[in-house]
Amino acid sequence: MEPVLVYDTTLRDGTQGENINFSADEKLNIAHKLDDFGIDYIEGGWPGSNPRDMRFFDLAKRERFKHARITAFGSTRRPGIIPEDDNNLKMLLQSGAPAITIFGKTWDLHVEKVMNNTLEENLAMIRESLTFLKTQNKEVIYDAEHFFDGYKKNTDYALRTLDAAVEGGACMLVLCDTNGGCLPSEIETIVNTIHQWIELKYNGKSGHNPVNLGIHTHNDSGMAVANTIIAVNAGATMVQGTINGYGERCGNADLTSIIPILKLKMDRPCFAAENMKKLKGLSRFVSETANIVPVRNRPFVGKSAFAHKGGIHVSAIMKEHCAYEHLEPELVGNQRRVLVSDLSGKSNIEYKAEELGIKLGGNGHDSKAIVTKIKNLEEQGYEFDVADGSFKILVQKYTDQFKPLFALESFRVVMEKDRDQPCRAHATIKIKVNGENEITAAEGDGPVSALDNALRKALDRFYSGLDMMHLVDYKVRVINGRRGTASRVRVLIESRDQNEVWSTIGVSTDIIEASWGALADSFQHKLAKASD
């Protein structure tokens, strides 16, 4: 099978997505992660457009990349000037990037009505820009912007733009579905046609450097991944996309789906098997750097991608994983998860208990009773499929295996508001540890923060390591709003230390009591893990 080159544009096209911003240093960190994974081309940005991208290229010059070619992105020369006088082309060369991607206009609508240019001058801009860069010993990739729209509206002119790029020295022509409006059937037909056209016109001639096809799609119709894959089947040997599908409007083609499909589904040589196991980690690293919450149901790398909730499903995967999984999650660095909810059966409980290291009775009585208990609690508003920490404590309590490392005696929370000053919260807490009472008080930015600080202060005399535990997410959801302020609320807390992330839950008609339930479970989980 012919290898497929993977071209990542997270650092340029990805940053055009809403709320996606990277500093130059963050871009460099991501570039090293992409290189370590085995990405072939890393598009670092447009050096002529902003100082941050130029700083990235300055930093990248001093770095060693073991596999990837750092690539600078820019446009053809401006109308009416020679390439040597074009500042954009000068900046591309100044970036020091070994490869340069140039985009040019394919759609006559853009040439004549958006740019107010002539069709012939546009062809000259493509040809001359690429020729100039090739004379500077640069690898040049040509992105045919709006190719599919242009091809459908004016086929002859679209082909002439590709001719101009090849005449300028481009050996990789990337066809772009810039507006993201094409369907797979259109992509397949057009890429097939262009592939055959190139083979006959250029690759069939002796002495001519081979001309290859690439594909660059956007997700405005939800088809970016499908369009990319079908283009590969039709002859494309380079795929462009972004990690997690970040990008303008609805995003770009998501490489976290494209890469495993190419490697694991289509058996195309592109990445080593050991590198594939880094895929989920790469996805998380980029989302954390972007400060974007990871999409739980993202294919292959999402936390829910291999999560099973229905009892029948769990019973089946306990016997044969392939019964409800299209591949082994470990291949992409993910893991199988079994969720526990009111939809659960005994199989869910038994699988989850084994995963958490909890022993159940062998006759199935414990698991059946726990299912009944969970269904009753979920009727009250609990959700154990998103609260593994609380679920573990619940099962331990029900099977007499829970060993509380502290017990609440009482707490009091006072909120104080002085005129225009921000609210202040004070918490006093009394707990019992090993038969000994401890009373402490603390302040916080809010009532939960004050409780958290007071509990830490109280436990600090008995246990070490709590300074490594941090609350990273706090969610409140009204379960049924028909009772207004008397409605029950669900509080979910996500905590982490240097090794693990865990979630806990509390439910009550009082938001502080619900918060305490989730907070107490979180600390019990942490302390129990430390004492194991």
Which regions in the chain score pLDDT beneath 50?
A: none
- Right CATH number for 407-531 from 3.40.50.150, 3.30.160.270, 3.50.50.60, 3.40.80.10? 3.30.160.270
Per-domain boundaries in the chain: 5-271, 307-390, 407-531
- Right CATH number for 5-271 from 3.90.1750.10, 3.20.20.70, 3.30.70.3040, 3.60.15.10? 3.20.20.70
What pLDDT is recorded for position 357? 74
Residue for token pair 């001519």: 208
What pLDDT is recorded for position 128? 97
Contacts of 528 (CB under 8 A, 6+ apart): 403, 405
Q: State the Rg of the chain over Cα.
A: 29
Is there a common fold for 5-271 and 407-531? no
Q: Decide: helix, strand or coil at residue 425.
A: strand
pTM of the model: 0.76
How far apart, in whole angstroms, are the C-alpha atoms of residue 375 and residue 381?
10
Query: What are the pLDDT digits (tens) for 489-505?
Result: 999 999 988 888 899 99
**Burial status of residue 26 (CB atoms within 10 A of its CB: 0-12, 13-18, 19 or more):** middle
What pLDDT is recorded for position 242? 98
Q: Decide: helix, strand or coil at residue 351.
A: helix
Residue for token pair 């991208």: 53
Residue type, 319: K
How far apart, in whole angstroms, are the C-alpha atoms of residue 203 and residue 207?
9
How far apart, in whole angstroms, are the C-alpha atoms of residue 190 and residue 196?
10
Residue 200 carries which DSSP code?
A: I
What pLDDT is recorded for position 355? 72
Residue 312 near residue 345 (C-beta atoms within 8 A): yes
Query: What are the pLDDT digits (tens) for 4-24?
Result: 999 999 999 999 999 999 999
489, containing H or E segment: strand 489-496
What pLDDT is recorded for position 343? 57
Q: Decide: helix, strand or coil at residue 403.
A: coil
What pLDDT is recorded for position 421? 80
